[in-house]
Structure 1
Amino acid sequence: MSFIELENVTKTFGGVEILKNLNITINEGSVLGILGRSGAGKSVLINMLRGMKEYKPDNGKIIFNIAFCPKCYRADPPSKVGQKCSCGGEFEAERVDLWDTDRKIYAAVRKRISIMLQRTFALYEDDTVIDNVLKSISGHDEEESTYMAIDLLEMTQMTHRITHIARDLSGGEKQRVVLARQIAKEPMIFLADEPTGTLDPKTAELIHHALLEGVKEKGTTMIITSHWPEVMRKLSDYVIWLERGEIIDEGNPEEVVARFLEQVPLPEKKEEFVTGGPIIEMEDVKKHYYSIERGVIKAVDGITLTIGEGEIFGIVGLSGAGKTTLSRILYGLTEPSSGNISAKLGDDWIDMTQSGPLGRGRIKPYLGILHQEYSLYPHRTVLGNLTEAISLELPAEFAKMKAIYTLKVVGFDEEYAASLLNKYPDELSGGERHRVALAQVLIKEPNIIILDEPTGTMDPITRVQVTDSIIKARDELSQTFVIISHDMDFVLDVCDRAALMRGGKILKIGDPKDIVEDLTPTEKKEMLTEE
Structure 2
Amino acid sequence: MALFIEVKNLTLEFDGVKVLKNINLTINEGEVLGILGRSGSGKTVLMHVLRGVEEYEGISGEVIYHLARCDKCGHIEPPGKAGNECPDCGKDTLKPFEADFIKLSLHDPARREITKRIAIMLQRTFALYGDDRVITNVVNSLTEIGVNSETALSRAVELLEQVQLSHRMMHVARDLSGGEKQRVVLARQLVRDPMLLIADEPTGTLDPRTADVVHNVIAKAVKDYNMTMVITSHWSEVVEDLADKAIILEDGAIVKEGSASEVAKEFMQLICSVEKKCDVVVGDPLIKVDNLVKKYISVSRGVVYAVNDVSFDVKEGEIFGLAGTSGAGKTTTSEVLMGIVQPTSGEIQVRVGDEWIDMKKPGPECRGRAVKYMGILHQEYGLYTHRTIIDNLTESIGIDLPYELAVRKAINTLVATGFTDEKAKSILSKMSDEISEGERHRVALAQILMKEPNIIIMDEPTGTMDPFTKKEVTKSILEARDKMGDTFVIVSHDMDFLEEICDRVALMRNGKIVSVGEPAAVLAELTDEERMEAAAP
Q: Distance in 2 between matches of 1:506 and 1:423?
A: 44
SS in 2 for 1:120: coil
* Offset at residue 401 of structure 1 (A): 3.9
User: In the alignment, which residue of structure 2 is the partner of 1:293?
Assistant: none
Q: Which aligned pairs between 1:56-455 and structure 2 lie closer than 5 A?
A: 58-69=59-70, 73-81=74-82, 82-90=84-92, 92-93=94-95, 94-99=97-102, 100-101=104-105, 103-137=108-142, 139=147, 140-154=151-165, 159=167, 161-183=168-190, 185-216=192-223, 218-269=225-276, 276-278=286-288, 283-284=294-295, 303-304=306-307, 309=314, 312-313=320-321, 346=351, 347-350=356-359, 365-372=372-379, 374-377=381-384, 380-396=387-403, 398-447=405-454, 449-451=456-458, 454-455=461-462
Distance of 1:317 and 1:349 partners within structure 2:
29
Q: 1:150 to 1:384 in 2, by over 3 A?
A: same
Q: Look up the SS of the partner of 2:270 in the other structure.
A: coil
C-alpha change, 1:480 and 1:341, in structure 2 (3 Å) is farther
Instruction: Determine the C-alpha separation between the residues in 1 that align with 2:486 and 2:464.
Output: 27
Q: Extract unaligned runs of 5+ from structure 1.
A: 289-295
CA RMSD in angstroms, aligned pairs only: 4.6
User: Hey, what's the Cα distance between the residues in 1 that align with 2:214 and 2:182?
Assistant: 8
Structure 1 partner of 2:38: 37
Cα distance in 2 for residues equivalent to 1:185 and 1:322: 48
5+ long unaligned stretches in structure 2:
none
For the residues of structure 1 that align with 2:489 and 2:217, how far apart are their CA atoms? 35
Of 487, 502, 515 in structure 2, the residue corresponding to residue 479 of structure 1 is 487
User: Which has the larger Rg?
Assistant: 2
Residues 369, 120 of structure 1: CA spacing in aligned structure 2 closer, same or farther, 3 A cutoff? farther
One-letter amino acid matched to 2:45 = V
SS of 2:164's equivalent in the other structure is helix
Mapped to 2, the partners of 1:130 and 1:302 lie a distance apart of 43
CA distance in structure 1 between the aligned counterparts of 2:193 and 2:339, rounded to whole angstroms: 40
Partner SS, residue 211 of structure 1 = helix
Alignment deviations for residues 323-380 of structure 1 (CA, whole Å, 9 cap, x no partner)? 99989978999999x999997555445569x9x9899977765454445554444565
**Alignment-derived partner of residue 20 in structure 1:** 21
Q: Which amino acid aligns with 1:98?
A: F
Deviates more, 1:58-67 or 1:117-126: 117-126
Deviates more, 1:360-369 or 1:211-220: 360-369
3-state DSSP class of the match of 1:153? coil
Shift of 1:11: 0.6
Q: Could you tell me the TM-score, scaled by structure 1's length?
A: 0.77
Point out the more displaced range, 47-56 or 325-334. 325-334
For each residue in 1:494-519, what CA deviation from the matched residue of structure 2 results, as whole angstroms up to 9, or x when unmatched? 35447799xxx989976776668756
Q: Offset of 1:428 from its aligned partner?
A: 2.9
Instruction: Using the TM superposition, give the Cα deviation of residue 19 of structure 1 relative to its aligned residue in structure 2, in angstroms.
Output: 0.8
Offset of residue 68 of structure 1: 3.3
Is 1:491–1:498's contact at 8 Å kept on the other side of the alignment? Answer: no
Cα displacement (A) at 1:95: 1.3
CA offsets 1:135-157 (integer angstroms, 9 cap, x no match): 44465542242132134234xxx
Q: Name the count of aligned residue pairs.
A: 506
1:314–1:483 contact (8 Å) kept in structure 2: yes
Instruction: Report the AA paired with residue 488 of structure 2.
Output: T
Cα distance in structure 2, aligned partners of 1:18 and 1:62: 16
Distance 1:243-1:108 versus aligned 2 partners, 3 A rule: same
SS at 1:262's partner residue? helix
User: In 1, Cα distance between the equivalents of 2:257 and 2:329?
Assistant: 39
Letter of the structure 2 residue corresponding to residue 256 of structure 1: V
Deviations 1:299-319 (A, max 9, x none): xx974376854654356779x
Deviation, structure 1 residue 259:
2.5
Q: Specify the SS of the correspondent of 1:392.
A: coil
Equivalent residue letter for 2:413:
T
Is the alpha carbon distance of 1:483 and 1:518 closer, same or farther for their aligned partners in structure 2, counting shifts above 3 Å?
closer
> Match of 1:149, as an amino acid?
L
Quote the offset at 1:266 in angstroms.
Answer: 1.6
SS at match of 1:437: helix
Displacement, 1:238? Answer: 1.0
Alpha-carbon separation, structure 2, partners of 1:326 and 1:80:
61
CA distance in 1, matches of 2:515, 2:14: 47
Report if aligned partners of 2:349, 2:358 keep a CA contact under 8 Å in 1.
yes
Deviation at 1:382, TM superposition (A): 3.0
Q: 1:148 to 1:176 in 2, by over 3 A?
A: closer
Amino acid at match of 1:79: G
Aligned in 2, Cα 1:168/1:278: closer, same or farther, shift over 3 Å? Answer: farther
Greater mean deviation of Cα atoms: 199-208 or 472-481: 472-481
State the Cα distance separating 1:239 from its structure 2 match.
Answer: 1.0
Distance of aligned partners of 1:323 and 1:200 in 2 relative to their CA distance in 1, 3 Å threshold: farther
Q: Deviations over 1:170-221 (max 9, x none)?
A: 4455445444444455422111112222222222222222222222565321
Distance 1:251 1:18, change over 3 A: same
How far apart are the structure 1 equivalents of 2:174 and 2:340? Answer: 16
2: CA distance between counterparts of 1:211 and 1:467? 32
| Counterparts in 2 of 1:148 and 1:256: CA distance versus 1, 3 Å | closer
C-alpha separation between the residues in 2 aligned to 1:324 and 1:232? 35
User: 1:243 Cα deviation (Å)?
Assistant: 1.4
Q: Deviations over 1:109-142 (max 9, x none)?
A: 2222221212224332222344334444465542
Question: Residues of 2 paired with 1:39 and 1:17: CA distance?
Answer: 12
Report how far residue 405 of structure 1 moved: 2.9
1:445 Cα deviation (Å)? 3.1
Q: CA deviation at 1:444?
A: 1.9
Q: Indicate the larger mover: 208-217 or 238-247.
A: 208-217
Shift of 1:479: 2.8
Distance 1:284 1:468 in 2: 37
1:443 to 1:6, Cα distance in 2 relative to 1, 3 A: same
Query: Do the aligned partners of residues 64 and 375 (structure 1) sit closer, same or farther apart at CA in structure 2, a change above 3 Å counting?
Result: farther
How far did 1:33 drift?
1.0
In 2: Cα distance, 1:285 partner to 1:3 partner: 62
Q: Provide the rounded CA distance (Å) in 2 between the counterparts of 1:316 and 1:69.
A: 62
The amino acid that maps onto 1:527 is: A
Native 8 Å contact 1:382 1:424 kept in 2: yes
- Deviation of 1:84 after TM superposition, in Å, equals 3.8
